[in-house]
Amino acid sequence: MKTFQTRAALNEWLLRQKSINKIIGFVPTMGALHNGHLSLIRQAKKENDLVVCSIFVNPIQFNKPEDLKKYPRTLETDLEMLSEQACDAVFYPSEKEMYPEPEKVVYDFGMLDKVMEGRYRRGHFNGVAIVVKRLFDIVQPHRAYFGNKDFQQLQIIKAMVKMESLDVEIVPCPTVREPDGLAMSSRNVRLNREQRRDASLIHTALKMAKALYTTHEVLQVKQRVTEKINASPHLEVEYFEIVWADTLLPVIEKGARREMVVGCIAVCAGEIRLIDNMAFNL
């Protein structure tokens, strides 16, 4: 497995690979890897000649400095895990390497970044779009792999790729879950025993919502989900929205539209935020 800390060194290696027509799959991460990340590596390995993974804790997507400080950094372990998955190359730049000068780009995503996560984490998605665009410019992959757990982020990245006319295929990958249904996340290790036990309610509530959606009104479904999760003294729903997948706008009345509907949720376990989602009509 090759490792690179500078764009120049990575680009030199990538140019050699592309000169012999190697197809590049790319998995951008912020490290603290778990099996959800590794599933992206495995899928990319199946579909490309070479797989590049990046590890970079992107400071401009954190709207709270304390969250940036608390984000786990486990580079040595991450590199071992990637080597075991036969990842071909890892790019782990410094902040100065990624941002030699302050970034001033401001994207206009319409309502995509104003709702749900965007409402509670202002500026977050602009920071995500900037770093992903910069990584795409550096790696110039043929395909890039993202987990469906971060559904709103996935829609933002698709929109950015379209806006920038980038020649990269965005590949959504299934959410990987713990045995009790909790979506895998780097934040899960910060949960205490009681929080971790009750966090399985999130997936249970989403499955309930999917079942109820066929026979109940949207507001009733939202109320039932909120009540179920908030019954735990260790959890509190920050938002639960049932949205059209293409626009992320809330479903008010089900009507005759046939576009995909997704239930998206954020739950606070103390100071730890957990997000998840589920498609309702697949």
Walk along the chain (282 residues) and give the pLDDT tens digit of each residue.
999 999 999 999 999 999 999 999 999 999 999 999 999 999 999 999 999 999 999 999 998 888 899 899 999 999 999 999 999 999 999 999 999 998 899 999 999 999 999 999 999 999 999 999 999 999 999 999 999 999 999 999 999 999 999 999 999 999 999 999 999 999 999 999 999 999 999 999 999 999 999 999 999 999 999 999 999 999 999 999 999 999 999 998 876 667 899 999 999 999 999 999 999 975
Same domain, 19 and 130: yes
225, 265 contact by CB (below 8 A): yes
Domain limits at 207?
186-275
Name the domain boundary from 117, 144, 173: 173
Same domain, 200 and 161: no
Report residue 97 as tokens: 């390497």
Same domain, 240 and 169: no
Q: Considering the domain boundaries, does residue 241 fall inside one?
A: yes
Same domain, 95 and 233: no
Pairing label, strands 272-279, 261-269:
antiparallel
Which is nearest to 56 in space by CA: 27, 30, 95, 28?
A: 30
Q: Considering the domain boundaries, does residue 280 fall inside one?
A: no
Burial 233-259 (b: 16+ CB within 10 A, else e): ebbebebbbbbebeebeebeeeeeeee
Selecting among 34, 37, 124, 142, the annotated active-site residue is 37
Same domain, 37 and 93: yes
What's the structural domain count of the chain?
Answer: 2
Identify whether 37 is a catalytic site residue.
yes
Over residues 168-221, the pLDDT tens digits come to 999 999 999 999 999 999 999 999 999 999 999 999 999 999 999 999 999 999
Same domain, 169 and 192: no
Same domain, 130 and 221: no
CATH number for position 244: 3.30.1300.10
**Amino acid, res. 63:** N
Pairing label, strands 169-173, 50-55:
unpaired
Distance CA 64, CA 125 (A): 14
